[in-house]
């Protein structure tokens, strides 16, 4: 398959890791002891829910913003985002002392909106789709000269997100399978690039919501397509189209893609809270959901990346109450 440019490689990933030193946290890789009997090779979670701004997004956003020409950066930043990318760009803007506007959907959770406001960003709520948010962000950019920081479809973003993959192999070199969520594809493509660069025989399993099958539809189509609509509780994964550069990576580097439903995600959220004391949003818990449902066969250690933990208290209570049967999911 031909690509417009080479895939992100180890030099870009290692450069991103240097830029992120002292900014992004090296989040813990935690063993899931409760699953040891069911998975004798072991399951670990990479807890990006404990990352600064509560999600992996700070890695890509900071890598991008720190690479900008300072005079361009000073004109300001704009982030079209369902929530976590917006907070990450707001964090980077605060770090560099530049203005920031975030364009979020009208359906955004109060936790994510409040997080941006706390970081000093100006918040605009526009529509419900990625396409609507990007259109408004481009309009603001034309009017103000501020730069739109892409949420996923960019090599600097991909390289930044991929630093989480470097950390996984550094800490657990025997990792056999890494499970990543797929929304626009920034995290999945970055982690896949890092894992395959460091350990080519490791498998990459991508997980998407049953109501937002962007990657599996792209595979069937031979390239990204725009979905008519998406649904499900993992709000960070409900964009309607995979990024083009993300497709370049995942079409080559992803080994499989699986889907999960909302109910089991709630069970996994409850399990993570009960058994590991980790707060995850639905988009963050989706990877462990796939593992617990038996959708990730592996002949070695499995690492599930928990992408984020930004959820308001009422939403968490609602989901974990619905996920009361978590013990049954583990037992099946």
User: 81 falls in which pLDDT band (50, 70, 90)?
Assistant: confident
Asked whether residue 62 is assigned to any structural domain, the reply reads yes
Q: 25-45, pLDDT tens digit by residue?
A: 999 999 999 999 999 999 999
Region 137-151 average pLDDT: 95
Asked whether residue 28 is assigned to any structural domain, the reply reads yes
Domain count, the chain: 2
Active-site residue, from 57, 112, 196, 214 = 57
Q: In what order do the strands lie in the sheet with 29-31?
A: 29-31, 43-47, 302-306, 177-181, 203-209, 256-260
Position 331 pLDDT exceeds 80? no
Residue 332: what pLDDT? 44
Which CATH number characterizes residue 280's domain? Answer: 3.40.50.1100
Q: 82-116, pLDDT tens digit by residue?
A: 788 999 999 999 999 999 999 998 988 787 888 89
Whether residue 206 is found in the same domain as residue 163: yes
- Which of 128, 148, 168 delimits the end of a domain? 148
Residue 75: what pLDDT? 97
Whether residue 136 is found in the same domain as residue 164: no
- The pTM of this model reads 0.93
* Cα(151)–Cα(133) distance, integer angstroms: 11
Q: Residue 63 is part of which domain span?
A: 58-148
Active-site residue, from 109, 251, 298, 307 = 307
Closest CA to 240 of 295, 184, 192: 184
Average pLDDT, the chain: 92
3-state per-residue secondary structure call for the chain = CCCCCCCCCHHHHHHHHHHHCCCCCCCCEEECHHHCCCCCCCEEEEEHHHCHHHECHHHHHHHHHHCCCHHHHCCCEEEECCCHHHHHHHHHHHHHCCCEEEEECCCCCHHHHHHHHHCCCEEEECCCCHHHHHHHHHHHHHHHCCEECCCCCCHHHHHHHHHHHHHHHHHCCCCCEEEEECCCCHHHHHHHHHHHHHCCCCEEEEEEECCCCHHHHHHHHCCCCCCCCCCCCCHHHCCCCCCHHHHHHHHHHCCEEEEECHHHHHHHHHHHHHHHCCCCCHHHHHHHHHHHCCCCCCCCCEEEEECECCCCHHHHHHHHHHCCCHHHHHHC
Whether residue 142 is found in the same domain as residue 271: no
Q: Which two tokens stand for residue 108?
A: 């955004």
Whether residue 250 is found in the same domain as residue 130: no
Asked whether residue 113 is assigned to any structural domain, the reply reads yes
Q: Which two tokens stand for residue 244?
A: 């083009």
Whether residue 24 is found in the same domain as residue 97: no
Whether residue 80 is found in the same domain as residue 126: yes
Residue 329: what pLDDT? 55
Residue 322: what pLDDT? 66
Residue 52: what pLDDT? 94
Position 324 pLDDT exceeds 60? no
Residue 265: what pLDDT? 95
- Which of 108, 132, 148 delimits the end of a domain? 148
Asked whether residue 319 is assigned to any structural domain, the reply reads yes
Whether residue 163 is found in the same domain as residue 62: no
Residue 307 appears among annotated catalytic residues = yes
* Cα(272)–Cα(115) distance, integer angstroms: 23
Residue 208: what pLDDT? 98
Position 280 pLDDT exceeds 60? yes
Whether residue 246 is found in the same domain as residue 166: yes
Region 311-324 average pLDDT: 74
Contact 120, 90 (CB under 8 A): yes
User: 266 falls in which pLDDT band (50, 70, 90)?
Assistant: very high
Whether residue 40 is found in the same domain as residue 110: no
Position 135 pLDDT exceeds 60? yes
Beta bridge partners of 305: 46
- Which of 124, 148, 172 delimits the end of a domain? 148
Region 164-175 average pLDDT: 98
Asked whether residue 4 is assigned to any structural domain, the reply reads no
Region 191-198 average pLDDT: 98
Residue 57 appears among annotated catalytic residues = yes
Residue 139: what pLDDT? 96
Whether residue 63 is found in the same domain as residue 40: no
Position 330 pLDDT exceeds 70? no
* Cα(263)–Cα(236) distance, integer angstroms: 17
Lowest mean pLDDT among 27-31, 126-130, 240-244: 126-130
Asked whether residue 2 is assigned to any structural domain, the reply reads no
Residue 120: what pLDDT? 95
Q: Which two tokens stand for residue 207?
A: 């997980």
CB proximity list for 69: less than 8 A, separation 6 or greater:
none
Residue 129: what pLDDT? 80
Position 325 pLDDT exceeds 60? no
Contact 134, 241 (CB under 8 A): no
Q: In what order do the strands lie in the sheet with 77-80?
A: 122-125, 100-104, 77-80, 147-148
Region 219-234 average pLDDT: 93
Asked whether residue 3 is assigned to any structural domain, the reply reads no
Asked whether residue 173 is assigned to any structural domain, the reply reads yes
Whether residue 179 is found in the same domain as residue 270: yes
The residue assigned the tokens 């964009």 is: 239
Contact 195, 166 (CB under 8 A): no
Region 246-262 average pLDDT: 97
* Cα(145)–Cα(55) distance, integer angstroms: 28
Whether residue 138 is found in the same domain as residue 48: no
């Amino acid at each position: 398959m031909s690509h417009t440019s080479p895939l992100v490689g180890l030099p870009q990933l290692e450069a991103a890791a240097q830029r992120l030193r002292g900014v992004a946290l090296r989040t813990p890789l935690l063993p899931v002891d409760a699953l040891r009997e069911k998975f004798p090779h072991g399951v670990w979670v990479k807890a990006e829910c404990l990352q600064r701004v509560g999600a992996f997004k700070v890695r890509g956003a900071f890598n991008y913003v720190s690479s900008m020409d300072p005079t361009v950066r000073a004109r300001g930043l704009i982030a079209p985002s369902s929530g976590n990318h917006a907070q990450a760009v707001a964090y980077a803007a605060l770090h560099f002392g530049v203005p920031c506007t975030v364009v979020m959907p009208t359906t955004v959770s109060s936790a994510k909106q409040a997080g941006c406001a706390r970081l000093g960003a100006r918040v605009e709520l526009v529509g419900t789709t990625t396409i609507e948010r990007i259109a408004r962000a481009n309009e603001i950019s034309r009017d103000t000269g501020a730069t739109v920081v892409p949420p996923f479809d960019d090599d600097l973003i991909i390289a930044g997100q991929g630093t989480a993959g470097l950390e996984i192999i550094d800490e657990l070199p025997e990792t056999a399978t890494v499970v990543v969520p797929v929304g626009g594809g920034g995290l999945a493509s970055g982690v896949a690039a890092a894992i395959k660069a460091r350990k080519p025989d490791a498998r990459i399993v991508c997980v998407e919501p049953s109501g937002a099958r962007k990657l599996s539809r792209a595979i069937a189509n031979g390239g990204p397509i725009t979905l008519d609509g998406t649904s499900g509780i993992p709000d960070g994964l409900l964009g309607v189209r995979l990024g083009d550069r993300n497709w370049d990576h995942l079409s080559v580097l992803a080994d499989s893609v699986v889907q999960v439903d909302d109910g089991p995600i709630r069970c996994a959220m409850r399990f993570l809270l009960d058994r590991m004391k980790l707060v995850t949003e639905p988009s963050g818990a989706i990877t462990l959901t796939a593992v617990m449902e038996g959708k990730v066969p592996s002949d070695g250690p499995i690492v599930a990346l928990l992408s984020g933990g930004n959820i308001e208290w009422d939403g968490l209570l609602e989901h974990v109450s619905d996920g009361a049967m978590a013990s049954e999911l583990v037992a099946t």
